[in-house]
Each structure stands twice: as C-alpha cells, then as structure tokens.
C-alpha cells in the first residue's frame, strides 16, 4: 500500500515535471475547448442524457447505471481513460482562455481519475472486449483573476476560474460505444478555485482547484463502487456456492 502511494506521488511529481519541462521546451498545442450552447441544461458531451436520474446517494448528481445483465459494469475488467474535454462557460465566450492552462486542467483531471479508479479497473491503452472507455468533460470554465504575487515561468497569462464547473462522465463499451454508466456531477467543489499556473502552485486558490479535481475523481470512484455492489440475491448465491477447492474435508472444531 505504501509502495502504491509512493508510485502515485511519484507519478504526480513526474506529471508536474513533464508539464514544467514541456512548457519551457516547445510551443503549446491548441487545447481545443468547446463553447457551451446557451440555454441548455447539459453540454451535449454525453452519448445520451435520457437515462439520467437524480442519484439519492450523491448530492447534485444525476446518474445512470445499466442493469442489463448482458451489458453492465460487472461485465468489464479494464478501462481506457480518454483525455477530458473542456467546455467554456457562456460568459467566457470571446475571452482568451490560455491553452497551457487548459492542458494543465485536462492532464491533471485525467491523472486524478486514472488514479482514483485504476485499482478497480486497470487502465489499458487499447479498446477491445471487456474494456470500457471513460469519457469525461469539465464543463463551464471561465476566465479568472491571477493573484497579484503570483509570477513565475509557469504562471498563465490569464487565470482559469473553475468556480461554477460541473463534470460530465460516462463509461461506454470501448468496441460499440454503448453507454454503460453515466453521471453529471454538479456538486460545486470548485467554488472559489482558480488555476493560475500550469503547476497548480501552492497558492490557496490553486490548491482549491486540485482539491476540486481530486474530489470529483473520488466521487467517480464512489459511484463505481456503488454500481459494483452485489444485490442481496447475489450475496446469498456467492455465500452458498463459493467454497475453496482445498476444503473438501470437514473442518475440525
């Protein structure tokens, strides 16, 4: 367990280092943000929204988990984690959202959700049978204010406000694209948080941003755990049939 924590931390550190080095050494590619359509309840990112219902176990969250015996979460053993898509808020239209910052958001969140789920669903790179694809979107980023004292090589020209961000996620079959589970998480974890640096520096508001992304990732894991829970009937069946091969003889008292 300690070793796992070490590797997680090392990976986060490595990820930060890569960001710093990459920001110094080459031009930043276009980050592809998508503008939100006005007046719509959802971004349009998910394959479908028709199955979503308020989830009583998660505040401000709508979700869907397929109960189809042939296509449900229990039938898969691994997952591909796609790079998240970012949608800008309607109020941010026409304003400059820095590509470096959007990449930092995408990579941090992808890393956070991979870390949160990988011990339940090993992360793989190729689609195939028994493999899910996790698609996610950070919806509603806006431009924000940089703190006055924040200035170094990693500082963005313009801060990104994640104060009203929602997260939309779905698990689809990696071969057919069919939706197996989905969630729209509007829990306002990013309240007061801005990203002003590619390294999510230690400044309080930036730390709030990393906590928000970690929080959404943790809620995703809780959602998966609740979807994986066995029904009462399944528990009874497991209890009555799961005997070890080496227990044929009667145990002594």
Partner 1 sequence: MTLGAASVALVLLTSTSFGADEISTFSAYVDSDICARLMLGPITAQRIQCSQSTFKEGSEPVLVRLHNNMVLSVNKEKIIRPLVGQLAEVSGKVKPEDGTVKLESAKPITDASIPQGDSARRLLDVRTYRTERSAQLHEKIRHELAMMPYISNFDFISFTQNGADVILTGWTVRETNRDTAGRVVRDIDGVETVVNNIEVLPLGSFDMQIRAAARAALQRNLSRYFWGNGSDIKIVVKRGQIILLGTVSRKADSDLAFIQCNSVSGAFKVFNMLRVQASDKGA
177 binds partner 1 (CB under 8 A): no
**Checking DSSP bridges between strand 61-65 and strand 179-185, what pairing results, if any?**
antiparallel
Q: Residue 26: which residues within 8 A CB-CB, separation 6 or more?
A: none
Look-up of token digits 């997260």: 167
β-sheet bridge partners, residue 86: 33, 138
- Minimum CB separation from partner 1 for residue 210, in Å? 24
Residue whose CB is less far from partner 1, 10 or 235:
235
Q: Name the segment binding partner 1 (CB under 8 A); options: 89-97, 194-202, 211-219, 233-241.
A: 233-241
Q: Where are the beta strands (DSSP E) in the chain?
A: 33-35, 53-54, 61-65, 78-81, 85-88, 131-144, 155-161, 166-173, 179-185, 194-197
Report the nearest approach of partner 1 to the CB of residue 197 (Å).
Answer: 33
Listed ranges 31-39, 137-145, 182-190, 221-229: which one lies at the site for partner 1 (CB under 8 A)? 221-229
CB of 9 to partner 1, least distance (A): 18
- The stretch near partner 1 (CB under 8 A) out of 7-15, 31-39, 144-152, 222-230 is 222-230
Instruction: Tell me how far apart the alpha carbons of residues 199 and 206 are, in angstroms, rounded to a whole number.
Output: 9
Is residue 249 part of the contact set for partner 1 (CB under 8 A)?
A: yes
Name the phi and psi angles at 43, rounded to 5: -75, -25
Q: Which is nearer to partner 1, 80 or 137 (CB)?
A: 80
Which span sits near partner 1 by CB under 8 A: 90-98, 99-107, 186-194, 229-237? Answer: 229-237
Q: Which of 25, 57, 149, 247 binds partner 1 (CB under 8 A)?
A: 247
252 lies in the binding site for partner 1 (CB under 8 A):
yes
Task: Give dist(CA 223, CA 63) in Å, integer.
Answer: 9
When asked if residue 149 is in the footprint of partner 1 (CB under 8 A), the reply is no
8 Å CB contact between 90 and 41: no
Vertex 60 angle, CA 54 and 64, to 5°? 35
Contact 33, 87 (CB under 8 A): yes
Q: Which of residues 61-120 bind partner 1 (CB under 8 A)?
A: 69, 72, 74-75, 77-78, 119-120
C-beta of 95 vs 237, nearer to partner 1 = 237
Min. distance of Cβ 7 from partner 1 in angstroms? 12
Check: CB of residue 45 under 8 Å from CB of residue 32: no
Whether the CB-CB separation of 165 and 141 falls below 8 Å is answered with yes
CA–CA separation, 216 and 113 (whole Å): 8
251 binds partner 1 (CB under 8 A): yes
The Cα 40–Cα 156 span in angstroms is 30
Give the footprint of partner 1 on this chain (CB under 8 A). Answer: 1, 69, 72, 74-75, 77-78, 119-122, 124, 126, 128-131, 225, 228-231, 233-235, 237-239, 241-247, 249, 251-253
């Amino acid at each position: 367990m300690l070793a796992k924590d070490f590797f997680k931390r090392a990976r986060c550190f490595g990820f930060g280092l890569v960001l710093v080095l990459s920001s110094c050494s080459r031009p930043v590619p276009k980050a592809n943000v998508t503008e939100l359509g006005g007046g719509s309840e959802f971004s349009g990112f998910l394959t479908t929204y028709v199955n979503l219902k308020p989830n009583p176990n998660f505040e401000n969250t709508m979700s869907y988990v397929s109960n189809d015996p042939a296509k449900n979460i229990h039938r898969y053993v691994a997952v591909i984690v796609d790079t998240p898509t970012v949608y800008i808020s309607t109020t941010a239209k026409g304003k400059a959202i820095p590509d470096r910052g959007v990449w930092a958001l995408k990579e941090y969140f992808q890393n956070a959700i991979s870390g949160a789920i990988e011990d339940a669903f090993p992360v793989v790179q190729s689609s195939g049978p028994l493999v899910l694809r996790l698609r996610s979107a950070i919806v509603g980023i806006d431009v924000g204010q940089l703190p006055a004292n924040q200035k170094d090589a990693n500082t963005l020209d313009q801060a990104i406000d994640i104060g009203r961000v929602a997260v939309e996620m779905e698990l689809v079959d990696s071969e057919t694209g069919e939706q197996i589970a989905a969630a729209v998480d509007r829990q306002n974890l990013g309240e007061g948080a801005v990203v002003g640096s590619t390294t999510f520096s230690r400044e309080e508001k930036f730390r709030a941003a990393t906590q928000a992304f970690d929080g959404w990732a943790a809620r995703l894991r809780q959602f998966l755990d609740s979807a994986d829970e066995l029904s009462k009937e399944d528990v009874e069946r497991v209890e009555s049939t799961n005997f070890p091969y080496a227990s044929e003889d009667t145990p002594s008292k």
